[in-house]
């Protein structure tokens, strides 16, 4: 059974710092991996989707990498801002058409 783990559970940084969020999954046979942002009491905002054949995806200050063989993904946030404060969720799809399996998330706090 696929399990997704995110480390750390919480992270506090001052504004301007670069940071890395980690995600690991137990079954490397994934179809794709997505990173989401969730603000308190709100739904999910998709940040990046990486297909199993891809190594990384970039969007603005965000860069996500995928090492399928080792079961790991990282989300790199450059020049963090207070507006980046949120919970970041990593999720994988095992087979095409199936549901996402989520990690518990990393709650990020960026202070000004």
Partner 1 sequence: GAVVSQHPSWVICKSGTSVKIECRSLDFQATTMFWYRQFPKQSLMLMATSNEGSKATYEQGVEKDKFLINHASLTLSTLTVTSAHPEDSSFYICSARPSGGAQNEQFFGPGTRLTVL
Residue numbers of the site for partner 1 (CB under 8 A)?
A: 31-32, 34, 36, 41-44, 46, 49, 51, 89, 91, 93, 96-105
State which residue, 13 or 44, has the beta carbon closest to partner 1: 44
State which residue, 66 or 89, has the beta carbon closest to partner 1: 89
State which residue, 26 or 81, has the beta carbon closest to partner 1: 26
Q: Quick check: 76 and 63 in contact, CB under 8 A? A: yes
Q: Which secondary-structure segment (H or E) carries 32?
A: strand 32-38
Q: Which secondary-structure segment (H or E) carries 63?
A: strand 62-67
Closest by CA position to 94, among listed 102, 104, 105, 83? 102
Shortest Cβ distance from residue 101 to partner 1 (Å)? 7
């Amino acid at each position: 059974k696929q399990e997704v783990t995110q480390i750390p559970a919480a992270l506090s940084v001052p504004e301007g710092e670069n940071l890395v969020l980690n995600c690991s999954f137990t079954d490397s046979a994934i179809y794709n991996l997505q990173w989401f942002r969730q603000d308190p009491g709100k739904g999910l905002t998709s940040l990046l989707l990486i297909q199993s054949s891809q190594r990384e995806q970039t969007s603005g200050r965000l860069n996500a990498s995928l090492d399928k063989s080792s079961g790991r993904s990282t989300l790199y946030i450059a020049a963090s801002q207070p507006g980046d404060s949120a919970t970041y969720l990593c999720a994988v799809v095992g087979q095409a058409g199936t549901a996402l399996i989520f990690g518990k998330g990393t709650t990020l706090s960026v202070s000004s």
